[in-house]
Amino acid sequence: MLSKKTKYGIKALTFLARRENKEPVAIAEIAQSEHISIKFLESILLLLRNSGFLGAKKGKGGGYYLIKDPKDISMAKVYRILEGPIALLPCASHNFYERCDDCDDETNCGARRLMTQVRDNTLKVLENNTLADIAL
């Protein structure tokens, strides 16, 4: 299941991508528009800023803004930053692989084979969509 952090991060990015002017937007405006608590949104936007998707301006007229073109923001990258691994099992992960303690034969593990298919299909959808695609 998608965490609220990831859902709200996607909503905030989509909000910023839909704006015609690319001026900074106050956190309060994003929070009110997207029905997200300001405190929670602050932590999400800081993470997205530290990951290179957003810029921030302090003071009057300040706020957050996209520093990349929405067509250059892969949803797979956003997902990994906000949610972590795409695979539902650590043994099915490309980037966060860990062997399961309770598995004697990874090659013949039905759960691993199934979750690898889920990972591959999820990854395909995320990689084939950018922020521009979902901000229509």
CA distance 109 to 113: 6
pLDDT higher than 90, residue 96: no
Classify domain 4-66 by CATH architecture: Orthogonal Bundle (1.10)
Q: Are 87 and 115 in contact (CB under 8 A)?
A: yes
Check: pTM over 0.75? Answer yes or no.
yes
Predicted confidence at residue 94, as pLDDT, reads 85
pLDDT above 70 coverage of the chain, percent: 100
Predicted confidence at residue 87, as pLDDT, reads 93
Q: Are 69 and 87 in contact (CB under 8 A)?
A: no
* The total number of residues written for the chain in this structure: 136
Predicted confidence at residue 20, as pLDDT, reads 85
Query: Phi and psi (nearest 5°) for 38?
Result: -60, -45
The domain limits of the chain are 4-66, 72-134
- DSSP per-residue string spanning 47-95: HHHHTTSEEEE-STT-EEEESS-GGG-BHHHHHHHHT--SSSSGGG-SS
Closest CA to 54 of 44, 66, 46: 66
Q: Are 42 and 27 in contact (CB under 8 A)?
A: yes
For the segment 35-92, what is each residue's pLDDT rounded down to a tens digit? 999 999 999 999 999 999 999 999 888 999 999 999 999 999 999 999 999 999 999 9
